Amino acid sequence: DVKVTQSSRYLVKRTGEKVFLECVQDMDHENMFWYRQDPGLGLRLIYFSYDVKMKEKGDIPEGYSVSREKKERFSLILESASTNQTSMYLCASRASVHYNEQFFGPGTRLTVL
């Protein structure tokens, strides 16, 4: 079974802090994604990576950056956290661009005070 893990289930940070969210997958998938989920808005794509060191902006990249130095790990960085970044963050992986199924991690509930 594919396993996608995220570094924290719950995280509380202060405005202006630099925040790192880590995601690891164990199935040698090429593609990895970061979404945020807010009530009534569904899953909105922040960034994705279709290969190591490759990244592409999603629909809401402002205020975020990403890093993918190794195939199994995809990090989401909030350079200076703001209260409007309080949300559920979901990481997902996919075998390659030719596949439809994504596998999601359990999510990180981030609260920015």
Partner 1 sequence: GQSLEQPSEVTAVEGAIVQINCTYQTSGFYGLSWYQQHDGGAPTFLSYNGLDGLEETGRFSSFLSRSDSYGYLLLQELQMKDSASYFCAVRERSSASKIIFGSGTRLSIRP
Chain contacts with partner 1 (rule: CB under 8 A): 4, 33, 35, 40-45, 48, 50, 56, 58-59, 90, 92, 94, 97-98, 100-107
Q: Residue 93: how many CB atoms within 10 A of its CB?
A: 28
Q: In terms of CB distance, is 69 or 101 closer to partner 1?
A: 101
Q: What DSSP character marks residue 83?
A: G
| Least separation in angstroms between CB 81 and partner 1 | 23
For residues 47 and 58, the answer to whether their CB atoms sit within 8 Å is yes
Q: In terms of CB distance, is 42 or 84 closer to partner 1?
A: 42
- The residue type at 71: K
Unique residue bearing structure tokens 């990090």:
75
Q: In terms of CB distance, is 68 or 81 closer to partner 1?
A: 68
| Least separation in angstroms between CB 92 and partner 1 | 8
Burial of 47 (0-12, 13-18, 19+ CB in 10 A): buried
Q: In terms of CB distance, is 69 or 97 closer to partner 1?
A: 97
Whole-angstrom distance, CA of residue 50 vs CA of residue 111: 28
| Least separation in angstroms between CB 78 and partner 1 | 21
